[in-house]
Amino acid sequence: MRILLLALILLGNSALQAQTLDNKIAEADALIKTFVDSKNLPGMAVSIYLGDAMIWSKGFGYADIENQIPVDPSLTKFRIGSVSKTLTAAAMGDLMKKDRLDPDTIVQTYVPDFPKKEYEITVRQVAGHTAGIRHYRGIEFMSSKLFKTVDEGRAIFEDDPLLFEPGTQYSYSSYGWNLISAVIEGASEEDFLGYMKQYVFDPLEMNNTVPEWTNQEIPNLTTFYVPDGDGNSVAPYVDNSYKWAGGGFVGTTEDLIKFGKAYLNFDYQPERVHKDLMTPLILSEGESTNYGMGWRTWIHNGNTWMGHSGGSVGGSTMFLINKEHRMVIAYTINRSSVGFDDLHWKLADIFLGE
C-alpha cells in the first residue's frame, strides 16, 4: 500500500510539474508574440534548454516575407553576429586543452608577421578587448568585398597604431578577433574555418552553423532585413568574410543550444579551460571588464550568466548560459538594430521563477 501511495504521489508531482512547465511555455510564447508584433519583426527563433532537455523551441514570423517561408529554429540560419566570437573561443579552448596555445604569450608567437607595436600585446588581451586594437571605422561594417583568407582580413587594421597601452582600458574590437583567427591558424597550423568545423561544429553536431560565404548557396539561409519606417525592407548587400571569427558565422538557435549545453559540464573542454575563457579580465587599475575571452558575464537576480549578444546587418542575436540552473537561452532575429528590452531576462524569470 505504501509503495502504491508513493507511486501515486510521484505521478501526481510529475503531472503537476508538466502542467507548470506548460503554463510557463504558454507565458513565454505570449511574451515573444507581443515582442515580435510590437516591433513588427520579420522573423524570430527562440530555443531554451533547462536542466537536461531543450524544453521549448519555436519560430515566429517569416524567414522570407515575400515568399512566406516560416522560421524553423532547427533549420533557419540567421546571422549570429558577435556570438561568432564565443564560438571562435571554443577553438581557442581546444588548442589550450591540447597545450598548443598559451593565451598569455605575445601574439607574434603564433603570428610572426603581425606588425610590432609600441607595446607588446598578448593573446588574452586581444581576445578580451584590452589590447587597444581598433574597431570599425566609417562604413567598414558595410563591407561588400569577398575576403578569401584570414590574412586578407587582417590587412584592414593591422598597420594601425594601438588606441592605448594594453591592459589599461577596455575597448570592444571585432578586428581583434580577426587576429585571434590568425593566432588559431598559427597555433594549429591549420586553416581557421577548417579548424572550426573539425573541432567545434562537428564534435558538437552543430550541422547548421557555417561561415556565410556569399559566393556559395547556403540552404535555409534567412533573408536579411533592416527597419524601414514602420515596416521592414531587405538589407543592403554585405559580405562578412572580412571578420569570420568576430561576426561571420550563420546558424540556428538549436545549434546555439547544443553549443551552450557543451559548456554546462566538462566533457567537451576541461574546467581549467572554462575558467580561462570565462573569467573576466582585470584592468591595470583593478576594474573588471566583465569580459573574458569571447564570453561576457552578467549578473541577473543573483544569478551569473555568460554568453554574448550579436548585431549584424540584418541580424540581432542573444546567447546566454547559466551553469547553476543548467539553462541556455538563444534567440535570433533577421533584422538589424533590434532593441531586446531585457527579453532574455524576462524569459529567464519565467522559467526559473516559482
- pLDDT single digits (tens) 126-157: 999 999 999 999 999 899 999 999 999 999 99
Give the pLDDT confidence score for residue 18 in this predicted structure: 73
Q: Which pTM value belongs to this model?
A: 0.94
The three grid cell numbers given for residue 110, joined into one nine-digit string:
603564433
Where the chain has pLDDT below 50, the residues are 2, 4-12, 16
Give the pLDDT confidence score for residue 14 in this predicted structure: 57
Contacts with 199 (C-beta within 8 Å, 6 or more apart), sequence order? 90, 91, 94
Give the pLDDT confidence score for residue 17 in this predicted structure: 74
DSSP element (H, E) containing 106: none
Query: CA of 139: how far to CAs of 73, 135, 142, 238, 337, in Å?
Result: 31, 11, 5, 11, 16
Contacts with 217 (C-beta within 8 Å, 6 or more apart), sequence order? none
Which phi and psi angles does 241 have, rounded to 5°? -70, -15
How many Å apart are CA 267 and CA 249, to the nearest integer?
A: 24
Give the pLDDT confidence score for residue 176 in this predicted structure: 98
Give the pLDDT confidence score for residue 9 in this predicted structure: 33
Which phi and psi angles does 119 have, rounded to 5°? -120, 150
How many Å apart are CA 157 and CA 181, to the nearest integer?
A: 14
To which residue does cell 586581444 refer? 126
Give the pLDDT confidence score for residue 300 in this predicted structure: 97
The three grid cell numbers given for residue 223, joined into one nine-digit string:
533573408
How many Å apart are CA 315 and CA 304, to the nearest integer?
A: 26
Which phi and psi angles does 186 have, rounded to 5°? -70, -40
25-352: CATH topology is: Beta-lactamase (3.40.710)
Give the pLDDT confidence score for residue 8 in this predicted structure: 34
Give the pLDDT confidence score for residue 279 in this predicted structure: 98
Look at phi and psi of residue 345 and say left if phi exceeds 0, alpha if psi is from -120 to 50, else beta. alpha
Q: Look at the alpha carbons of 308, 276, 149, 160 in this order and tell me if their dihedral is positive or negative.
A: positive
pLDDT tens readout for residues 247-291: 999 999 999 999 999 999 999 999 999 999 999 999 999 999 999
Q: Would you give the end-to-end CA distance of the chain in angstroms?
A: 32
